[in-house]
């Protein structure tokens, strides 16, 4: 079974600054996918960024980028130029490759609450 | 295109009551999922379905049942509500691009 650990329950950052959220995971799989989801106070789960384990290049989506260290089983999220709208819970999630019999289930970490201060 | 919709948004149940949480998606996704999120925690998988007529248990299935008679609908049934089932419930769906699309959630309180 896979486990996902987020060791930072809460973090804060000043507006326009950069913050990094940590995530580690444990798996015996070689191929898998990693995700960061954002959950604002509205509760909606929003996909921020996705990384395929077979890709060495770190994924980037505008102000969001990841540092994927496969050997260390680490998957951190960097938010640049933080904005007030980035205030939310952030969840790291793991997924094995899709299986026709098992779908593509996500295993979530416990989350990091990020507060962006003006 | 409404995506994934869930009803109701909020519900208070008394211990021992039953209810069905509704979930519908209009994206023709094969895969559907039910998660629960306890306060301050990540989501945990309750049940999932890989297509109409096919369902299977996830990590925390006890106290719940599901059915999948159509591609669009994936209701979650609580038969005898218990305080431990107080949580926020999310339905999600996906196809083959690995991204799961989530509904807005249902906040359930059992007292």
Residue A108 is predicted with a pLDDT of 94
- How distant, in Å, are the alpha carbons of A70, B37, B59, B76, B100 from that of B91? 30, 11, 15, 9, 10
Q: Which chain B residues are closer than 8 Å to A105 by Cβ?
A: 33, 45, 48, 58
| A43–B44 C-beta distance less than 8 A | no
In a domain, residue B101? The reply is no
A108 contacts B102 by C-beta, under 8 angstroms: no
Contact across the interface for B31 and A103, Cβ inside 8 Å = yes
Query: Tens digits of per-residue pLDDT, B69-80?
Result: 999 999 999 989
Residue A1, pLDDT above cutoff 90? no
Residue B111 has pLDDT above 90, yes or no: yes
C-alpha to C-alpha distance for A26 and A116, rounded to whole angstroms:
30
Residue B109: inside a domain, yes or no? no
What residues of A are in contact with residue B10 (Cβ under 8 Å)? Answer: none
3-state helix, strand, coil split of chain A in percent (to 5) is 5, 50, 45
Q: What CA–CA distances, in Å, run from B109 to B9, B12, B24, B35, B106?
A: 11, 5, 22, 16, 10
User: Is the pLDDT at A106 greater than 80, yes or no?
Assistant: yes
Within a domain: B104? no
Domain assignment of residue B9, given as a range = 4-95
Structural domain contains residue B108: no
How far is CA A110 from its chain centroid?
A: 11
Indicate yes or no: CB of B43 within 8 angstroms of CB of A101. Answer: no
Domain membership flag for residue B106: no
* Ordered alpha helix ranges (H), chain B: none
Question: Domains of chain A by range and CATH?
Answer: 3-117 (2.60.40.10)
Instruction: Determine contact, residues B8/A69, Cβ cutoff 8 Å.
Output: no
């Amino acid at each position: 079974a896979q486990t996902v650990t987020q060791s930072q329950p809460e973090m804060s950052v000043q507006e326009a600054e950069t913050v990094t959220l940590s995530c580690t995971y444990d798996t015996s799989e070689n191929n898998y996918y990693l995700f960061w989801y954002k959950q604002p106070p509205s509760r909606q789960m929003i996909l921020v960024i996705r990384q395929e384990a077979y890709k060495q290049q770190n994924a980037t989506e505008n102000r969001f980028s990841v540092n994927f260290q496969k050997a260390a089983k680490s998957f951190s999220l960097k938010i640049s130029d933080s904005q007030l709208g980035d205030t939310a819970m952030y969840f790291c999630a793991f997924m094995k490759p899709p299986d026709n019999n098992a779908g593509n289930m996500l295993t979530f970490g416990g989350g990091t609450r990020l507060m962006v201060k003006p | 295109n409404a995506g994934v919709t869930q009803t109701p948004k909020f519900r208070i149940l008394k211990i021992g009551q039953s209810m069905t949480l509704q979930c519908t998606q209009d994206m023709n996704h094969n895969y559907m999922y039910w998660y629960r999120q306890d306060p301050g925690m990540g989501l945990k998988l309750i049940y999932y379905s890989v297509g109409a007529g096919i369902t299977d248990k996830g990590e925390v299935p006890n106290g719940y049942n599901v059915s999948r008679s159509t591609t669009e609908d994936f209701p979650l049934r609580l038969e005898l509500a218990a305080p431990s089932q107080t949580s926020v419930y999310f339905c999600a769906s996906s196809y083959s691009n690995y991204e799961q699309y989530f509904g807005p959630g249902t906040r359930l309180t059992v007292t």
